[in-house]
């Protein structure tokens, strides 16, 4: 998985204060029922066990095992306009 932070996203993240229980995360949001869909969100929460942490420009980004498995071969771009957006060839998810 190759993660790219756009300049607006990087600038926004650098303005934020993180703690051990408040770290950026790329997260698969799965919806189910009779079918199944996966969206990707850029969110902030506490570490989960078995997270992978990717550090880009000193910004730690957490990814859990399931999300990583889905995005393994993907180019993932994090952008920021009014909110963070995860842009992949699969879907776009946001966190406002």
Partner 1 sequence: MTTYNKMIFEVSQPGRIGVDLPTSDVDPVTLTDKFPSHLLRDSEAELPEVSELQLMRHYTALSNKNYGVDSGFYPLGSCTMKYNPKVNEDIARLDGISRIHPYQPEETVQGALQLLYELQADLAEITGMDEVSLQPSAGAQGEWTGLMIAKHYHKQNGQNRTKVLVPDSAHGTNPATAAIAGFETVTIPSNEAGLVDLAELKQHVNEETAALMLTNPNTLGLFEKDIVEIAQVVHEAGGLLYYDGANANAILGRTTPGKMGFDIVHLNLHKTFTTPHGGGGPGAGPVGVTKELAPYLPIPRVEKNGDQYTLNTSEKLSIGRVKGYYGNFGILARAYTYIRTMGPDGLYQVSESAVLHANYLKKRLEPYYATPYPQVCKHEFVLSGSKQKKLGVRTLDIAKRLLDFGYHPPTIYFPLNVEEGLMIEPTETETKETLDAFADTMIAIAKEVENDPQMVLNAPHTTVIGRLDETKASRKPILRYTKED
Instruction: Give yes or no for residue 90 binding partner 1 (CB under 8 A).
Output: yes
Tokens of 68: 């990583």
Q: What pairing do the DSSP bridges indicate for beta strands 84-87 and 92-95? A: antiparallel
Instruction: Give yes or no for residue 54 binding partner 1 (CB under 8 A).
Output: no
Total residues binding partner 1 (CB under 8 A)? 20
Instruction: Give yes or no for residue 92 binding partner 1 (CB under 8 A).
Output: no
Task: Tell me which residues touch partner 1 (CB under 8 A).
Answer: 28, 30-34, 36, 38, 46, 48-51, 64-66, 69-70, 89-90
């Amino acid at each position: 998985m190759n993660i790219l932070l756009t300049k607006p996203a990087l600038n926004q993240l650098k303005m934020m204060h993180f703690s051990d229980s408040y770290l950026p995360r790329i997260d698969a949001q799965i919806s189910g029922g009779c079918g199944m869909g996966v969206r990707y969100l850029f969110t902030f929460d506490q570490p989960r066990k078995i997270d992978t942490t990717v550090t880009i420009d000193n910004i730690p980004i957490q990814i859990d095992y399931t999300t990583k498995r889905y995005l393994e071969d993907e180019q993932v771009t994090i952008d920021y306009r009014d909110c963070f957006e995860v842009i992949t060839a699969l879907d776009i998810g946001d966190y406002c």
